[in-house]
Amino acid sequence: MERAAINKSRFLLWATIIAILNPVFSGLILGLVMLSEPDLKKEGRIVTIFSLAWGIIAMLLVAKFRDVLPI
């Protein structure tokens, strides 16, 4: 059976954009799904690590500026 060719650079770009917008849930899940595919292991590592790092930075920024915002 033939496998469809994947445009890896476009897929990596969209996965990174999704990880920027929602790093903890969507970015992490998408990165782990990409890790399960044999052709996308490298890109999956990139998205997963980026998603974890960006999620930690976002949580630290929320904790730092939580008392500053007048909500």
> For 21-69, what is each residue's pLDDT tens digit?
888 888 889 988 889 988 889 988 999 999 999 999 999 988 888 877 6
CA nearest neighbour of 42 among 2, 5, 9, 3: 9
Amino acid type, 6 = I
Residue 13 has pLDDT above 90, yes or no: no
Per-residue model confidence (pLDDT) at position 51: 92
Per-residue model confidence (pLDDT) at position 54: 92
User: What SS3 state is found at 17?
Assistant: helix
* Residues whose CB falls within 8 Å of the CB of residue 32, separated by 6 or more in sequence, listed in order: 44, 48
Are the CB atoms for 32 and 45 separated by under 8 Å?
A: no
- The DSSP 8-state label assigned to residue 1 in this structure reads -
Residue 1 has pLDDT above 80, yes or no: no
The C-alpha atoms of residue 60 and residue 55 are separated, in whole angstroms, by: 9
- Give the domain ranges of the chain: 8-65
Per-residue model confidence (pLDDT) at position 52: 92
